Chains A and B, each alone.
Chain A
């Protein structure tokens, strides 16, 4: 039987990938953040699951206004790093796991979560930057990946509660997969940040701390936040944090916080990461 072992939340700021790709991680601006990555990477090196479900959003890369899904599962054999305007990142191709991906799709739809499905999808920084944060710069990624896209950029987004319930349904699906494999799940994006408008650059460490604390001890509190509370308190793009609820919903009710990292600034954001193991 498949077994869900742990979850990670992490921001997916493109600048982190660019700093690595361009060899700038020793520069003063980046050095402290990358020092903070060291324990996170040490944990990942010891805890590589067979498959990782990466919950992220596409940023007007492979989806746009003409076609946009609320929840979409990637069922391809592999996914290429996307050209987001600078040319594709020179990182390994992301190998998929179609068998588990299709099991998730079938199980979720029968469980009332009507997933969109894609087999032709280039993955942007929302997915590749968390891979770089966890695994640095290997020749090939050590885990297979199932991309799960959530609409967080086009109103109305799914509710924070819906995201949590999706995580719970994913867990039921993992628990019913017959193969004896290990699975990880990552929620990505956030933490507080706003990129557009006169208020660009707003961050809110108190809100972020509350969200992270709730994630460990009272995850339902994070499902009661409204879209407008996220926009107001965590910035228009801080609403990405609802994707962390998918990750948390999949874990056990009781979790152990293994590591937490918080750093301002990364570009115009508050960077956050957390690793949670099932108790």
Chain B
């Protein structure tokens, strides 16, 4: 697989041709939740609705578990996973906190942002973050 210079940026998932292909049906499932009738159908029986999309079982389980970081690793993009968060009627900070390493609660993530956000220093490259 072709490597990219941004692969060195830690904790970052870029929607490119690699994730595009891996996550296509997962993302298109997320996209469907823009429609009210699809949100209702998903709400009635999540697994039955997920079966309508040719996704992997691991992707379906990650949706059921709201395991957002795993969803990104399986090819989802954050603008698409927003649709699940919105369906759950959660503020996006719930998702941001769950994806963070280590994970944070809504309140902890909100607090970090109010205090100036996650610092860029130490977070620019994998090498830099490993050095702490």
Contact = CB atoms under 8 A, between A and B. Distances in A.
Interface of A: 15, 29, 59-61, 64-66, 82-87, 153-156, 192, 194-204, 206-207, 227-228, 231-233, 236-237, 264-265, 267-268, 270
Interface residues of B, number: 53
A192 B117 CA distance: 10
A59 to B, nearest CB: 5
B109 A228 contact: no
Given A233-B120, A233-B124, A198 B78 contact: no
Given A155-B16, A198-B99, A199-B12, A65 B28 contact: yes
Interface stretch (B32-40, B45-53, B59-67): B32-40
B37 to A, nearest CB: 11
12 contacts: A60-B30, A60-B80, A85-B83, A155-B17, A198-B99, A198-B100, A200-B11, A200-B99, A203-B120, A231-B9, A232-B6, A232-B125
A154 B13 CA distance: 11
Nearest to A195: B78
| Interface residue SS majority, chain A | loop
Contact of A228 (B9, B83, B114): B9
A121 B44 CA distance: 29
A231 B5 CA distance: 10
Given A83-B36, A86-B86, A200-B100, A265 B114 contact: yes
A205 B119 CA distance: 10
Interface in B52-104: 69, 72, 77-83, 86-87, 89, 92-93, 96, 99-101
Contact of A202 (B79, B87, B120): B120
B15 A154 contact: yes
B118 A228 contact: no
Given A155-B17, A233-B124, 8 more contacts: A195-B78, A197-B11, A200-B100, A202-B118, A202-B123, A203-B120, A236-B9, A236-B12
A201 B120 contact: no
B99 A154 contact: no
A200 B118 contact: yes
Contacts of A61: 34
Smallest CB-CB A-B distances: 7 pairs: A198-B11, A196-B78, A85-B86, A199-B11, A265-B113, A198-B101, A203-B117
Given A60-B77, A236-B13, A66 B28 contact: yes
Nearest to A82: B34
A84 B92 CA distance: 13
A22 B117 CA distance: 25
A240 to B, nearest CB: 11
Contact of B96 (A59, A65, A200, A232): A200
**Residue of A82, A192, A264 with most partner-chain B CB within 10 A:** A264
Contacts of A267: 92-93, 113
A85 B16 contact: no
Contacts of B93: 267-268
A195 B34 CA distance: 19
Nearest to A199: B11
A121 B77 CA distance: 22
Given A84-B86, A200-B96, A264-B117, A231 B12 contact: yes
